[in-house]
Copies of this chain bind each other. A is one copy, B any other.
Amino acid sequence: MQSLQEKASEWSGVNPNDAFAIDEINLYQKLGLQTFINISTNFYNRVYDDEEEWFRSIFANSKKEDAIQNQYEFFVQRMGGPPLYSQRRGHPALIARHRPFPVTRQAAERWLHHMQKALDSTTDIDSDSKVKMTNFFRHTAFFLVAGDELKNQKQSIACKHATSKPAAV
């Protein structure tokens, strides 16, 4: 059986070494807190204004300012900065926290489309940092698609509608 990491690599086309090249330098020290806030603000401004209603609607139950804070705090923590996310919300637990959302391949591509635009619109990001983050984001997006498929796995708790024979119609 393929692992989450193997699926993420195959589906994203990004191998683990490239995905986790973000750890070769301290991106937080290099770019600073404000850059991460700017990326997430730019990103969610695009997402909440997306012309694609199917994608925009995924975020309809979250406040934009909360989405921005959750995201940049996670980025800061994961990319060498203080553990802002865990202090406030605990372990990132990325797959579990995305459980309420339909993280399809199409949704991953749309997320990445907006993130690429956000990175390109944010000043003070050098090209090496941008490549590292882009690879990390692409691999992570498909890691979450792989995680999303776990939802369809058989649960040990039987569906309450299940019968040993097909129900009479």
A60 within 8 A of B: no
- Separation of A61 and B27 alpha carbons in the complex (Å): 39
Among B89, B94, B139, B159, contact of A93 (Cβ-Cβ < 8 Å): B94
A99 within 8 A of B: yes
Mask: chain A, 136-169; 1 = CB below 8 Å from B; 0 = not: 0001100100010011100111011111000110
Among B86, B100, B143, B168, contact of A91 (Cβ-Cβ < 8 Å): B143
Q: How many residues of A contact B (CB 8 A)?
A: 43
- Separation of A96 and B10 alpha carbons in the complex (Å): 20
Q: How many copies does the complex hold?
A: 2
Chain B, Cβ-Cβ closest to A82 = B23
Interface residues in A30-48 (C-beta closer than 8 Å to B) = none
A90 to chain B, nearest CB (A): 4
- Separation of A23 and B74 alpha carbons in the complex (Å): 15
Residue contact B87 to A16, C-beta cutoff 8 Å: yes
- Separation of A26 and B33 alpha carbons in the complex (Å): 21
Mask: chain A, 55-95; 1 = CB below 8 Å from B; 0 = not: 00000000000000000000000000011001111111111
* B-binding residues in A (CB < 8 A): 3-5, 8, 16-17, 19-20, 23, 82-83, 86-97, 99-100, 102, 139-140, 143, 147, 150-152, 155-157, 159-163, 167-168
Ordered by A's residue number, 5 sampled pairs between the chains whose C-beta atoms are within 8 Å are A4-B97, A90-B139, A91-B95, A94-B96, A159-B159
